[in-house]
Amino acid sequence: MSPRALRIAFAIAILVAALFAGRWTAGLLAERWWAAQLSPAAVEFVTRWKVLSLVLESLGILVACSWFVGNLLLVYSAIGSVQVHRRLANLDILEAVNLRAIVWLSVAGGLLLGFITGRGMGEWTGDLMLAWTGVPYGQTEPLLGREVGFYLTRLPLWRLFHGYFLLLALTALGGVMALYGVIGAVRWVDRRPAINDHARRHLGGLAALLAIALAWGYFLEPFELVGGVNGSVHEGLFDFHRSVSFTLVILACAAALASVVWAWKGGTTLLAGCWGVLAGVSLLGHYLLPAVLPASAVPVLRNADRRQLDEVAYGMTAIRDTAFPRRAAPPDPPRPLAIWQATLAAEATASDSGRVVAADRAIVTVGRRARPAWLVIRDQAADGASISVLLDDQTTISGRPLLFRDADSLRTAKGVPTLRLPLRACWPRGPVSVVDTAAGGVEVGSGLRRVALAWALQSAELLGPTPPGARVFWHLDPVERLTRLAPFAVWGAPSPRLIGGELVWLLDGYFSGEAFPGASRVEWRGESVGSLRAGLIGVVRAGTGVTSIYLRHTADDLAKQWRALSDSLIQPASAIPPEILRALPYPAELLEAQMRVLAEPHWGLGQLIGRGENIGTTGPLEEATWSPDTTGVQVYVPYERPQQRQVSATAWARVADGWEALSILRIDSLISLPDPSALSSRWEHFTTFQQLKDSVEKEGARLEPGPVRYWATSAGLGAYQPQFAKREGQEPVLAWVSIAVGDRRGAGHDAEEAWQNLLGLSAPIISAGARGSQLLEARRYLQAAEAALRRGDMEAFGRAWEGLRRTLKSP
């Protein structure tokens, strides 16, 4: 390479490095300025995380580049010792190959290969921080005698380093062997391999390193087996697999020694024998023999031990396992009623234009009373976002949704809530960045500060004219905001709450473990995990962007360790404001994982009904109901015996003052109910239901069933299912409610009528009209007024009486 070409290459390399360094520095400065709006602890932790990630990423690339450049230069040095046969007339001439320019290709190729294979070590930041300190769980697994914390902290890092080492050794061996074949250092002569001394020593050393990498992997296999990463100990072949791993470690070490001997002295018999035996034993022990060996009749772990490990892995240490309670008292109807679900709540508020970005249940204050409702948040582009409030326990007398668009009707002791968010506010999938003159955000400034912000945010708007005192707001999506602040946790879907007249986003921070000894495994977000815990609570105030992270009351040692590692970034559970504590939902993704674990045979509940295998980012559960005291949401998840289609048990999940409570209720067949599909089928065979369906379809609409929801009564398990009349372009209407308790069934136009029908006190009437004639409408108002009077609800009585007067056109 000429001196001029060399200077150009160095100039390009320096320019590229400067661009990378400049972009990283601008990003670091921007993140520090953004974190400074939250807390000094956030600035310190964000800086430390980004610097450590850069150091690890650079170290991974540097080691890989050095490794591949060194190996390619060793190949280059062999070129001078290889001779090429040339024939001149009748003479054979041996000409030495000496291509000096190939050294630059070796360096460039090594750097490129090292950059490709060495990237990604920056993502090990969290694993390295945890492994450096460790997490003592205080519990030892019974198979290998290792502490549980080892599987959550040290083993993941060991596996990462092993994969990195194996990739470098395997890639180098394959590439070097191919290059030696190209230059003639490795060739076939008289149907036998021939190799010169330089290439043999080089390849022998690489083969020894590959054998050491394999021995390392075989050494980790028993731990991976116990942790569930590589197979399962529950198949009954644990002792066999452990013996195979021990044998393979010895054989891999023997192969490494044979490779060193071959590199030094030559002779392929010993080398081929050792590597052949290693490959054969690995094939037999990993694939062939496990397929034909019978599983042991004696389980490796007792069911009690497996349940205990499941409880620790999935946060069920306080679970209660009892029989379904039955009392000598008349059953009560489900109050307050949960009518809507997320999709229907969005359709019921469709008159508010904009894209739905969130919908969840929440308690709101209406007329100084706590009422169950749905909050639906819509992105309205340049107009910001809107908040719609839909009552969940009540509809109009005609079944239409009750919406509150007037904020004054939701007045609380702290004032009138804001039902509109400005463009700079926080909501899911909102704008990337917003320039505004409002308080908060990061000051745009001038000079290098403005350039750094524009470069980091990739925003040309910041380079143009901005108003005086302009500030830039970014990381406006609550999930992205918390991920930037605490990247060591996986954040769930944000749940909106109206607290003190302000919209607040609540997010669950999850910690998963790829390996956990003896625990059941679930598919979570496309990965197989052996543990899942909800350890953190993220609170993002939508209007101001103020963000806080708290430790949950039920946080495990892993979450507590992260609190210690992040200094004061994570606040203790005792610092959670009471109003936030009362509004906390049950962690949805954790509940989904717990439900699948409880469906395992060693729990003895039966099959989980109506759920797939993979758990994604989960929103509000459709089958959830409201707690009787209107303090939050509860859910009864049914299980059934195979082929019986009868609910055999339910898992009951709820939150009380910030503590998750999970109970197993095993149900006797005498007080149980059929599964949801069987119940729906029976309800649809009611004569009145068929009449209703025909009536709705004659009006050009269609019936759409809601979820079957279960609840506990004194007489046994109860269930109900709403049916909605839907017409294109119109809001859905509650048309029918089917209900069941024990062996009794009922139905009606609303929950009150269905309950009266179940008790045998009334019978629903279906007319030819959409909701009946004027006489039928008056009758329904009268029934509602009588029912309200019996239970002493004068507010409901007044509404029914007013509706009766309007129907009869009474002055």
Q: Helices in 578-639 by DSSP H: which ranges?
A: 578-583, 588-598
Mean pLDDT is highest, among 310-319, 442-451, 795-804, for 310-319
- Give the separation between CA 147 and CA 139, rounded to whole angstroms: 6
pLDDT at 783 over 90: no
For residues 700 and 712, is the Cβ–Cβ distance under 8 A? Answer: no
Name the token pair of 510: 């999850």
Q: How many CB atoms lie within 10 A of CB 193?
A: 9
**Could you say which DSSP state residue 407 is in?**
G
Question: What is the reported pLDDT for 193?
Answer: 74
pLDDT of residue 543: 92
pLDDT per residue as tens digits for the range 105-142: 788 888 889 999 999 999 999 999 999 988 888 888 88
What's the pLDDT score for residue 729?
81
The model's pTM is 0.89
Q: Which residues contact 13 (CB under 8 A, 6 or more apart)?
A: none
Residue 466's pLDDT band, with cuts at 50, 70 and 90, is: confident
User: For residue 600, what are its two tokens?
Assistant: 């395992």
- Pick from 705, 672, 675: which is nearest to 689 by CA? 705
Amino acid identity of residue 151, one-letter, is: Y
Q: Tell me, what's the pLDDT at 30?
A: 93
pLDDT at residue number 771: 42
Q: Per-residue confidence at 768, pLDDT binned at 50, 70, 90? A: very low
pLDDT of residue 265: 86
- Confidence band, pLDDT 50/70/90 cuts, at residue 101: low
Sequence spans of domains, the chain: 170-300, 433-474, 676-772
Distances (CA, A) of 434 to 12, 200, 268, 421, 544: 35, 62, 68, 13, 13
Instruction: Report the pLDDT value the prediction gives residue 781, as an integer from 0 to 100.
Output: 76
98 vs 434, residue with greater confidence? 434
Q: What is the mean pLDDT of residues 368-395?
A: 91
| pLDDT for the residue numbered 770 | 40
Average model confidence (pLDDT) for the chain?
Answer: 88
Task: Check whether 100 has a pLDDT greater than 70.
Answer: no
Q: Could you tell me if 782 and 804 are in contact, meaning their C-beta atoms sit under 8 angstroms apart?
A: yes
pLDDT at 16: 78
- Give helix 40-79 / helix 154-183 axis angle, nearest 10°: 30
Which residue in the block uniquely carries the two structure tokens 């030696």? Answer: 180
Given a contact cutoff of 8 angstroms between Cβ atoms, the answer to whether 515 and 530 are in contact is yes
pLDDT at 168: 96
Under 8 Å between Cβ of 643 and 678:
no
Element (H, E) at 653: strand 647-656
Tell me phi and psi for residue 650, to 5 degrees: -135, 150
> Does the structure show a pLDDT above 90 at 335?
no
Instruction: Name the residue among 721, 716, 713, 746 with its Cα closest to residue 646.
Output: 716
* Ranges assigned E (strand) in 383-529: 385-395, 401-404, 420-421, 433-436, 442-443, 471-474, 490-491, 495-499, 502-513, 522-524, 527-529
Q: What share of the chain is helix, strand, coil (3-state, %, to 5)?
A: 45, 25, 30
Local confidence band at 522 (pLDDT 50, 70, 90 cut-offs):
very high
Per-residue pLDDT at 326: 81
pLDDT in tens, 633-657: 999 999 998 888 899 999 999 998 8
Structure confidence at residue 424 (pLDDT): 94
- Tell whether the model's pLDDT for residue 194 goes beyond 60: yes
**Mean pLDDT, range 280-309, rounded to an integer:** 86
Answer yes or no: are the C-beta atoms of 331 and 714 closer than 8 Å: yes
Res 767: pLDDT:
54
Choose from 85-94, 131-140, 734-743, 760-769 the range with maximum mean pLDDT.
Answer: 734-743
